[in-house]
Amino acid sequence: DDDDDDDEETDSPLNDDESTSSNCSPMLPYIKYQPVLGNGNKALPNFQFSVKSTRALYQCNTCGRQYSHRSSLREHSERIHNIILPMIRRPPKFKTDRSDLA
């Protein structure tokens, strides 16, 4: 019988510091510090979320995975599917003077 009593004590959720008497203080809240807005928390500020920029996603035609960079898609395609994607050549971004062409 004494062994059973010991098991109950170790299974108890109370620590040695805690007491089961009714005069113990209530549990403290998890968040002790709660900042107060200048208006006494009567009205929350108007938060607005916005997307500053979007990027095209490059999707693998074989498995459907998406990548934010074409180079990552090329690497995935070659490593996983043994498919080599050609590099895309873009025209140069400098301006040409049309008067020189005449």
Confidence (pLDDT) at 82: 96
Confidence (pLDDT) at 92: 83
pLDDT in tens, the chain (102 residues): 555 544 444 444 444 444 444 555 566 656 666 667 677 666 766 777 777 777 778 999 999 999 999 999 999 999 999 999 988 888 888 776 666 565
DSSP codes of every residue in the chain: -HHHHHHHHHH-S--TT---STTSPPPPPS-------TTTTSS------------PPEEPTTT--EESSHHHHHHHHHHHH--PPPPPPPPP-----GGGG-
Instruction: Please report, for the chain, the start and end positions of each structural domain, with discontinuous segments joined by +.
Output: 55-86
Confidence (pLDDT) at 24: 57
Confidence (pLDDT) at 10: 47
CB 73, CB 60: distance < 8 Å: yes
